[in-house]
Structure 1
Amino acid sequence: MRHVSHSPSCAKRLRQEAARRGDTFGEVARIIHDHCAVSLLRAQRLARGLTLKQAAEGLNALGASRAEAPRVDGDQLGHWETTGRQPRSATISLLCEFYGCRPPDAGFWDAGYTCSVAAGPPPSTALDPVGHSLPSPTILRESSSTDSLEQRVDAARRSLDRTLAVGSVSSTQLDLLDEQVLWAREQYVYTPPAPMIKLLLNHLAEVEDLAAHRQPAAVQVRLSELTAMLATLVADALMKLGYLPRSRSWYATARNAADDSGNTQLRARVRAQAAMLPFYYGPLEAAVSLSREARIICRGRPCATAAFASAAEARALAKLGDTEGAEAALGYATAAFEQSGAGGQADNDAFGFPERRFRLYESGTLTALGRTSQARRVQEAALRLYPSKTGIDPALLHFEAALCLARDRSPTEACQLAAATYLRIVPEHRTPIVEERAREVIGVLPPGVRSGRAALELREILALPRGQM
């Protein structure tokens, strides 16, 4: 029979249902073992809602005053839970005392442990098949000497087949994960970054729990894709909050996961998104390099990702003052966007590239090139495309409109627009990246105007604590 280990969230749901019924820990553990296809030892831990680290700390605290008690860490405990291998008698005694159960209830049969169960063969649950490691070649030598070579070879093959079977994840389970990640991508468009990070980390923990076990190649590819998407969103949220080193590290993790998946579109998309960090915080050359690499990975195919990568490259080149390069990249982005048919159902997806986002990048390119009249027309067109429930993109467009006013020698209007835009943003979205865009307006003002009244008022607004706005 094929066993598919469920995620910890399933055990949590069963634990909550059991608590309402008044079930004991032992009853909850048996339910989790039967339903989630995890070993009895893991079921005992999950029945109590403990992480591997918490359980290991509890075991060490229990055995601290005993000379014979072993030291346990989370990795070792996880090894016993997934391989079905028995630790020595002293460890089994400690585990059973900690969980308040008998050895058979934790998947062990240990003659050195005193219990009320009559002697006999190990129960069927003593070696749970979930998570067996691949048998080593010594399995042939360790078999009974009375077995023929053919019997030992067949036994080894059956053990391998069981390992391959229990390591796989059902298509239904993957589909549910896909739905959860898609929902998170849609929520990300308008949810503030701080609470969004907590949600994304919960999804990542579930994906990581599955990816930690041996999986068929097709399943591993999908898990790597989900990891790359979630890690990218975590990196982007950290960037918005101003945690730059952490954001950079998460983008690296996202690229590793995308490369591991082999998904060309995803590999390009993650790099194009990673270019946002150096675009806003420098160096701009890194933004050009990442977005250009993303465009090259797309291999000339006119897709939404190619349009995104080229638009990001154009915006960074324009800010560097490379007019010719920016125009060429923007031209390619426009052609790729028009031919890709981007938009539609991807409008509310953080991994989509609808027209409003394309216009945002086009506006940034034109603004940096000093083509303020064209930029304003693009900004107005883009703002009409945004729904009422959205994130900070409309504010970024208004800040660019303020930059255009500053370049057109209207410093007072520029500062007033930037201040009004900043105050309209809800506090949860008023993150360091928004503050930096508002300060950029002051930075492009002529030196003699930066100390004027309008600029001073904008600085004072940006310096106020959120509660006083």
Structure 2
Amino acid sequence: MADRHPLSCSVRVREQAREQGWPPDRTAAAIAQCCAVSLLRAHRLARGWTLQQAVDAYREISRDIPGAARLDQDQLRIWETNHDRRPLARTIDLLCRLYETSAEGLGLSGNYTPTQIPVQRSLRPDSRTTHSSAVTVATGPDSLDRVLDRTRYDVDRTLARATVSFVQLDLLEERLADLRCQYLVTAPVPMLGHLLPELDEVQAIAAERQPALVQMRLSEVTAVLATLIADALMKLGRLRQSRAWYATARSAADDSTNADLRARVRAQAAMLPYYYGPLASAVALSREARIIARHRATATAAFSAAAEARALARQGDTARAREAIRLARDVYDRASPGDPDDAFAFPERRLLLYLSGALTYLGDTHEADRVQARALTLYGDHQGIDPVLLHLEQAICLVRTRHLSEACRIATGAYLQLPPDQRTELLAARAHDVLAVIPVPMRTTSAARELGDALALPTSTR
């Protein structure tokens, strides 16, 4: 937040609160108002905790809670400073426990404000109270035994209500692995026809009560499927729906507590604003992914840095783009890239695709040409859209080195080589980027007109 006061300001408020006996909520509210920070941060400052001390306290209270979200300093900082990034409901519940307040008290929306719970001397059942909302226990060992047995029976029935075995879950994940490979070579519209029924089945299972471990695995599957759906919609130019599905994917990934998946989904989501704008959102999403993946030498960490690099380059932030390129290469050299035929892997050819975009917009045409040639060799006869994107970036570099006819020939050939169902709005937008860098007086040449005619053909949008 703007105009944030120094840490000493919150110290003064905390001392005043201690002298006057303020409750924690009042202290936090005073710090939030005085220091222009969120209530979530104000509660931490009201206790005089550092980020790491708050994280340690959270881990202590959530240690024995199945499915509790993992927390680190970076994630807590994001929640404290970015109103668009909110923890999930069950994590809010744990934060309420941590700070002994309500969700409203944290500026979120559980209530764990300390209260004195009266001891009931009259323990006769009250007909106005249902078993699901409260339990009143009658005096005498026989009555207590009946309540204990009934409650245990109800809990056992709930625990036995799980509808999926681990074998079934393994088979579900095997089908997902097949879909991830199929995604790389299938046009968006028929691919959606495969993905949506699969997600329907996952949600039907997840809607039933499942053990925590199963529920987390279902959330992981949901995150991957939602990401692929969002990506397909992005290719088709259906931006509103793509944006909504990416948000769903992020929620599912956060629910899974899988840090690598949380980062991966955000890096993937950065593609939408990279291609369609605003670029600031592409930078923010890829940077958030990089922060989550930090200190891990993984393909996802390299992907996040590469995504940030090309967004920064296109935004014109040369220095930070070059630093992100260096980081992406360094991390990738220490990472395991995964199966190149998996849409959720990040093989060398995809790293080079992202570096091609960064180098193209940095104006490093010689290095971009070297990277593009290497990437196209690795793609070979791959039938997806990535080789076409590389050819279009080759064309942009050729225009900038004043090889206009060659640039238009490459762009036109790459665009038309795909079957109509893979000639999507995204590719049309990238091909128009080639036309956009051609000087206006040169757009009337036969090569430029031929590219324009190709782009006038219908695209696959549904």
TM-score (norm 1): 0.67
Q: Check the 8 A contact 1:303/1:339 in 2, yes or no.
A: yes
Give the alignment of 1:240-251 within 5 angstroms: 240-251=235-246
Q: How many corresponding residue pairs?
A: 328
Structure 2 CA distance for aligned equivalents of residues 159 and 184 of structure 1: 39
Contact 1:315 1:326 in 2 (8 A): yes
Counting aligned pairs with the same residue, the percent is: 56
User: CA, structure 1 residues 210+364, in 2 after alignment: closer, same or farther (shift >3 Å)?
Assistant: same
Shift of residue 308 of structure 1?
0.2
- Check whether the contact 2:421–2:459 (CA below 8 A) recurs between aligned residues: no
What is the CA–CA distance in structure 1 between the aligned matches of 2:195 and 2:308, rounded to whole Å?
Answer: 28
Report the counterpart of residue 225 of structure 2 in structure 1.
230
Q: Deviations over 1:378-411 (max 9, x none)?
A: 1111111114343110111111111111111111
Counterpart code for 2:313: A
- 2:161 aligned with 1:166: yes
1:15 is matched with which residue? none
Deviation at 1:251, TM superposition (A): 0.3
Contact 1:168 1:219 in 2 (8 A): no
CA distance in 2, matches of 1:179, 1:435: 34
Deviation of 1:426 (Å): 1.4
Distance 2:167 2:135 in 1: 34
CA deviation string 1:156-175 (max 9, x = no partner): 31121021112253110110
Aligned to 1:275: 270
Residues 425 and 459, structure 2, Cα contact 8 Å, conserved in 1: no
Indicate the SS of the match to 2:443: coil
**Aligned: 1:312 with 2:314:** no
Q: Where does residue 292 of structure 1 map in the other structure?
A: 287
For 1:408, the aligned partner's letter is T
Change (3 A) 1:422 1:135: farther
- In structure 1, list runs of 5 or more residues that go unmatched: 1-133
Deviation at 1:300, TM superposition (A): 2.2
Letter of the 1:460 counterpart: D
Partner Cα separation in structure 1 for residue 400 and residue 326 of structure 2? 24
Specify the SS of the correspondent of 2:209.
coil
Matched ranges for 1:87-236 at <5 A? 136=132, 148-167=143-162, 169-236=164-231
Q: 2:422 & 2:333 partners in 1: Cα distance?
A: 31
- Unaligned runs of at least 5 residues, structure 2: 1-129
Q: How far off its partner does 1:463 sit?
A: 0.8
| Equivalent-residue separation in structure 1 for 2:276 and 2:356 (angstroms) | 19
Question: For residues 105-153 of structure 1, what are the alpha-carbon distances to aligned partners after superposition, in whole Å with 9 as ceiling and x for unaligned?
Answer: xxxxxxxxxxxxxxxxxxxxxxxxxxxxx96257889x9xxx8441342
Contact 1:168–1:216 (8 Å) recurs in 2:
no
Q: Is the 8 A contact 1:140 1:156 kept in 2?
A: no
Q: Which of 412, 415, 430 lines up with 1:419 in the alignment?
A: 412
- Between the aligned partners of 1:464 and 1:273, the Cα distance in structure 2 is 28
Question: How has the CA–CA distance of structure 1 residues 186 and 386 changed in structure 2, closer, same or farther, with 3 Å as cutoff?
Answer: same
Taking structure 1 as reference, are residues 135 and 265 closer, same or farther at Cα in structure 2, changes over 3 Å only? farther
Letter in 1 for 2:360: T
1:135/1:163 Cα in 2 relative to 1: closer, same or farther (>3 Å)? Answer: farther
Task: Give the conservation status (yes or no) of the 8 Å contact 1:314–1:326.
Answer: yes
Question: In the alignment, what sits opposite 1:255?
Answer: 250
Partner residue of 1:375? 368
Which of 358, 363, 388 matches 1:365? 358
Q: Which of structure 1's runs of 4+ aligned residues deviate more than 6 A?
A: 138-141
Whether the aligned pair in 1 keeps the contact of 2:226 and 2:245 (CA below 8 Å) is yes
Asked whether the 8 Å contact 1:189–1:349 carries over to 2, the reply is: yes
AA in 2 matched with 1:192: A
Secondary structure at the counterpart of residue 340 of structure 2? helix
2:447 is aligned, of 439, 449, 454, to: 454
Query: 1:354, 1:239 → 2: CA distance?
Result: 22
Tell me if structure 2 keeps the 8 A contact 1:304–1:353: yes
Residues 455-464 or 353-362, more deviating: 455-464
User: Residue type matched to 2:179 in 1?
Assistant: A
Question: Shift in Å at residue 437 of structure 1?
Answer: 1.0
TM-score by length of 2: 0.68
Question: Is the 8 Å Cα contact of residues 140 and 153 (structure 1) preserved in structure 2?
Answer: no
Q: CA RMSD in A?
A: 2.0
